[in-house]
Amino acid sequence: MESRTLPVPDGLDGSRVDAGMAKMLGFSRTFAADVADAGGVLLDGRPVGKSDRLLGGAVLEVSWTPRREPEVIPIAVPDLGIAYDDDDLVVVDKPVGVAAHPSVGWEGPTVLGALSAAGFRVATTGAAERQGIVHRLDVGTSGLMVVAKTERAYTALKRAFKEREVEKVYHAVVQGHPDPLSGTIDAPIGRHPSHSWKFAVTPDGKPSITHYETIEAFPRASLLEIHLETGRTHQIRVHMAAHRHPCVGDPLYGSDPVLAERLGLTRQWLHARELSFTHPATGEWMTTESPYPADLAHALEVLSDA
């Protein structure tokens, strides 16, 4: 068991307990929330929950059980596609069920582990379990993801993603028919106020912008092309659910399980279709594309035949 006792800076007065702990102690917000849920946080001697508010100048006492740091374990992923590869970077076509990198609580395959097993070398600074990772895809989302192999590529790509100089195009099948058929959702996203493992549109969330356009409408669903200006966790899933058109096969955000079962889906219909950016070494604009995997293509066929 480890513990820390420290005063709350005035600048964090009014902050949520989990958010303030993350800033003061370097925890992930999820881990901070878990510590609070376990009763490991006292504020001026009184137990507080993750969503309670900090008080500037108060004494914060935190006790927690250290977790073993995640590590990259080489695990072959036969259906991991390589869309592009050179000395600076590799663009992978990630299958569903594979995480971007190791994390506490995840014991399945990862992109970094699959690349290691296939003989790829990633040499950048940063946490060992996240080397080369400049953006992520959810475990349940398939499609394109770039991994930097060199420090030069890592630095340039991180900056490009931060400055929104990367074009990310997703395709999604959502329930119903968005009205209007094309538009922009501009709504801040933050942690869900009552479920730490989910995200939601919240007043104090981070700015998040999603552009969508209907490609094809089916009797009960629509195929959309989606362009992201920002890259928040679960952004498309949260925004479409808030728009009352959740991704088909996404029960976490309110989809109809009956429709997913009829389409043979065991995950959300969401695919990172195109990825475009300036190559960090050549300066050339490059684009990679990914076809629909078999389960998503089958679901579209069923919808088309309805």
Check if 88 is active-site.
Answer: no
CA nearest neighbour of 60 among 2, 7, 3: 7
| Signed CA dihedral, 99, 229, 165, 207: sign only | negative
Tokens of 113: 């582990």
C-alpha closest to that of 120 among 69, 77, 152:
77
Residue with tokens 């309805």: 306
User: What is residue 97's three-state secondary structure?
Assistant: coil
Catalytic residue among 18, 88, 93, 138: 138
From edge to edge, which strands make up the β-sheet containing 2-7?
2-7, 59-64, 41-43, 46-47
Task: Evaluate whether 255 touches 126 at the Cβ level (below 8 Å).
Answer: no
Q: Do β-strands 142-148 and 270-278 pair in parallel, antiparallel, or remain unpaired?
A: parallel
**Which of 95, 292, 291 lies closest to 300 in space, CA to CA?**
292
Return the number of other C-beta atoms located less than 10 Å from residue 145's C-beta.
23
Catalytically active residues, by annotation? 138
